[in-house]
Amino acid sequence: MSATVATLAGGIKSWMTRGLADRARQLRLTWQTMSFAERMASVFLAAMVVGGVVLRIQDLAWPTWFTFDEEPFVKNAHSYPLAIADNNDHPPLGKMLIAVGMLVFGYNSLGWRFIPLLFGLQSICLAYWLGRVLFDSRRAGFMAAAFMAADGFFISYSRSGLLDGMMISFMLWGMVAALAARTWRGVLAAGVLIGLSTSIKWSGAMTAIPAAVGILILRRVSIFSVLWLGVVPVVHTLIWMGALRLTGKPSDPVATWRVIIGLYKHHLDLGHYKNDLCSPWYGWPILMHPVVIKASTSGLKSRYSSSVGNLVLWATTDLLLVAIPVTTLVIALRTRFRRYWLAILDRQTMRGVWLMLLGWFAFMAPWLATRSTRGNYTFSHYYLPCYAFLLVLLAGLMAKLERRYPWLVTSYLGLALAMAIFFAPVWGEFSLTSSAANLRLWFPAWRP
């Protein structure tokens, strides 16, 4: 522990003194060696990151009342400091974290949205690290951060007191820790982070699949280290026991297990419920029914935070979702095409791409598997972790392609930025007339 603290302190001291100057010089040199197209692309990416941060923070606390699913989460979060039992149907950690924000700022809209905002901003940083570690490229990291920053799906969840944004953040953290692990301790850290993700929403446990495969294929640590991911259910159970103890309920392992099993059965039974905001799994990649997470009207104008994604990024990732497996199949059958493919994308990039596709599938699998009991009682935000993996995949490919086709990639990034600017008013709750909002929310199913 003390060695860890010393490493961190040393790293920070070095970063604060020598590192900053070195980094500035390195950045200047990098900028000087860039072509004009690459400089343009860098400016676009920086604008996406800065714009994404501003859109997440500005007017966060509006509206001052509950929107979408905030009410059950916030009221149960409020229960923890008061030692009242949580009756929500998700694990306790997300609500305990929301409660921290309310302890700092009080029982108001800033209080219950502060921690989700913090995790939403952290997700941008984590997307950078995941792209960088996975594709061995800072440029890929920069692109992943920019894509996540300039997408309404992630912006809307960063601006509301909901659980999904926090779950995604721990998911990304777990992936980064797993891929950057050099010793068993790194894998253990990944397991703990995935356990935290699972303790917000159970679907977070699916992170263990791409994390384990990533550890095995990168081979930076002993393959047996992957067993440390077994800590995920332990972390989950311990957090749940702590939450039960905090609220004065029986918290021994048997009682905790009963609570977990009861909730599991309740989830399987949700297929009987009806909700206008439901959408089936096959509707998520095609934006069949993205939810307007926050909607408020004042006078003749309305303010929306829609979860419609950045359509340029969304369409590209959908295309890749189909194109990559098909191309791989063609190459497997007709090996003579392989050299053309490898001329564009090397093996390491493709390994990263396939790992991200595995992450996409891992998070889709539970909804395919439980379709017989859950029916269509599923929501578009279940696609949030899948889309995060696709954006990192896209970043890795774009960073690679930029070396060969800089103008093509720059044009693409310019288009993605333009789309983000066009949709920013309905992502960041700008005050709009209904006609201006409908100009962006094209279909009735996209509107509140």
Partner 1 sequence: MAPPAPAPESLHPAPGQAAGPEPAATTATPPVAAATRSGPPVVLYTVFGFLCMGVALWLVFAWTGYKDRYSQHSEGWHLGATKMIEITLVRDDKKNLACASDRSFAGTHCGFHANIVPWGPGPDRDVNTLQPFNTVRNELFLASGLWFAQVLRDPLPSSRFTVVCNYHVTGVLKNVSLRWSPTGSFTPVDQSVAVGTLTDCVIPQ
At closest approach, how far in Å is the CB of 180 from partner 1?
4
Closest CB to partner 1 among 33 and 87? Answer: 33
Residues that bind partner 1 (CB under 8 A): 4, 7-8, 11-12, 30, 33-35, 38, 57, 61-66, 104-106, 108-111, 114, 117-118, 121-122, 125-126, 129, 132-139, 173, 176-177, 179-180, 182, 186, 189, 193, 218-220, 222, 296-300, 302, 339, 342-343, 346-348, 351, 403-404, 434
At closest approach, how far in Å is the CB of 201 from partner 1?
19
At closest approach, how far in Å is the CB of 68 from partner 1?
12
At closest approach, how far in Å is the CB of 193 from partner 1?
8
Closest CB to partner 1 among 9 and 368? Answer: 9
At closest approach, how far in Å is the CB of 447 from partner 1?
10
Residue 142, classified by CB atoms within 10 Å of its CB into exposed (0-12), middle (13-18) or buried (19+), is buried
Residue 185, classified by CB atoms within 10 Å of its CB into exposed (0-12), middle (13-18) or buried (19+), is middle
Closest CB to partner 1 among 28 and 403? Answer: 403
Closest CB to partner 1 among 239 and 259? Answer: 239
At closest approach, how far in Å is the CB of 252 from partner 1?
31
- The C-alpha R_g of the chain, in whole angstroms, comes to 22
At closest approach, how far in Å is the CB of 352 from partner 1?
8
Closest CB to partner 1 among 182 and 265? Answer: 182
Closest CB to partner 1 among 95 and 400? Answer: 400
Closest CB to partner 1 among 220 and 245? Answer: 220
Closest CB to partner 1 among 189 and 419? Answer: 189
Determine the distance from the C-alpha atom of residue 424 to the mean position of all C-alpha atoms in its chain, rounded to a whole number. 19
| CA-CA-CA-CA dihedral for 347, 349, 354, 356, to nearest 10 | 160
At closest approach, how far in Å is the CB of 284 from partner 1?
28
At closest approach, how far in Å is the CB of 209 from partner 1?
20
> In three state form, how does the secondary structure of the chain look?
CHHHHHHHHHHHHHHHHHHHHHHHHHHHHHHHHCCHHHHHHHHHHHHHHHHHHHHHHCCCCCCCCCCCCHHHHHHHHHHCCCCCCCCCCCCCHHHHHHHHHHHHHCCCHHHHHHHHHHHHHHHHHHHHHHHHHHHCCHHHHHHHHHHHHCCHHHHHHHCCCCCHHHHHHHHHHHHHHHHHCCCHHHHHHHHHHHHHHHCCCHHHHHHHHHHHHHHHHHCCCCHHHHHHHHHHHHHHHHHHHHHHHHCCCCCCHHHHHHHHHHHHHHHHHHHHCCCCCCCCHHHCCCCCCCCEEEEEEECCEEEEEECCCCHHHHHHHHHHHHHHHHHHHHHHHCHHHHHHHHHHCCHHHHHHHHHHHHHHHHHHHHHHHCHHHHCCCCCHHHHHHHHHHHHHHHHHHHHHHHHHCHHHHHHHHHHHHHHHHHHHHHHCCCCECHHHHHHHCCCHHHCC
Closest CB to partner 1 among 29 and 330? Answer: 29
Closest CB to partner 1 among 50 and 319? Answer: 50
At closest approach, how far in Å is the CB of 125 from partner 1?
6
